Amino acid sequence: MTDENKTRQEEILIGQVGGEALMEGIMMRGPKGAAIALRLPDGSIETTVKAVKSPKDYAKCLAWPLIRGPVNLVHSMVFGYKCMMESAEKTTLDAIDASEPQASKIDQWLAAHFGEKMMAVIGAIGMVLGLALAFGLFVWMPAFLFQLLNGAVEADLSRFAALIEGAVRITLFVGYMFVMSQIKDIRRVFQYHGAEHKAIFCYENGLPLTVENVRAQKRLHPRCGTSFLFLMLLLSILVSSLVMYFFPQLADALALRVAIKVLQFPLIMAIGYEFIRFAGRHLQNPLVRVISAPGLAMQKITTKEPDDGIIEVGIQALKAALGMPFEPLVVPAKEALPE
């Protein structure tokens, strides 16, 4: 390795660059803030740089291990939702025009009552419905199905409740993501997801951020949110198995069992977050490779190979987040997004 390449490798901030796929765009977070690059309807790329504070900027204790996991994840979810809504407003604004004769009565009512905030209202409704669907599908339904099964067989399956529920939850999760990946618009988002991973891999491998170099990279990344979700599913099985082993009487208490699962979320998020951070820095560790394998396999569904136009968006977002020069105009944010 030459001195120049060695210096370049030392400057790379492994684990400090991450992103999220948006509607016709990508959000990247790096040392220079958060950058949103969007492919607008006219074909141009708009790149916006936003100054975003980290939770640890408010209190140092929020950066402590096991505490930082749940805090950072909630913070990222809120920020990511705002970025997604911004991308939807800018890239699909023409898709909902309540003034058109063919607009639905719901669109007309929303436009009359909320005006320019219509997209934000639609997004908020969608988020609430999405959370309700996630809770019902991945928390309540597995517990309910186990209770039906346990009552239908002669053997007592109480001590196997966590394993059975976990198997149902994983099956539902994989099936749900596969079905979603078949939807044209979602598949497009998954292509941007793949471009995000490829761009980050290109940077972390010390290569110039060009379309050719990014295209050649892998699209499965160990620090991906998909891997984290799958890891959380596995951790939930482990934690729930311990709870059910010591308290098998919970098998007949559906509401209490569901409540306990909800209370487990912070612990599971904390452990999962620390492992994902560790995995991102120790990709060659045999144990890391084994534990990361299911999540990486799941990314074959949640990421798709991007075309060169999508890769260009990923490169612009990453360059902006790193403070590198790039050609498209940077639209400065008037203020940082509220936390």
Q: 32-45: per-residue pLDDT in tens?
A: 889 999 999 888 99
Decide if 187 is inside a domain: yes
Q: 163-202: per-residue pLDDT in tens?
A: 899 999 999 999 999 999 999 999 999 999 999 999 999 9
Of the listed ranges 167-171, 174-178, 213-217, 258-262, the least confidently predicted one is 258-262
Q: Which residues, 6+ apart, have CB-to-CB distance to 140 below 8 Å?
A: 258
8 Å CB contact between 221 and 18: no
Decide if 337 is inside a domain: no
Total-model pTM:
0.81
Decide if 210 is inside a domain: yes
Residue ranges making up the domain that contains 161: 17-332
Decide if 8 is inside a domain: no
Q: 90-120: per-residue pLDDT in tens?
A: 887 544 454 555 455 555 555 555 555 655 6
Q: Which residues of 229-267 are buried (b: 16+ CB within 10 A; e: fewer)?
A: bbbbbbbbbebbbebbeeeeebbeeeeebbebbeebebe
Decide if 110 is inside a domain: yes
* pLDDT for residue 20 is more than 90: yes
The number of folded domains in the chain is: 1
Residue ranges with strand state E in 191-247 = none
Reported confidence tier of residue 2, pLDDT bands at 50, 70, 90: very low
In this structure, what token pair is assigned to residue 30?
């790096």
Rounded CA separation 275/291 (Å): 9
What's the pLDDT score for residue 114?
A: 52
Decide if 195 is inside a domain: yes
Decide if 204 is inside a domain: yes
Decide if 220 is inside a domain: yes
> Tell me, what DSSP letter sits at residue 318?
H
8 Å CB contact between 69 and 270: yes
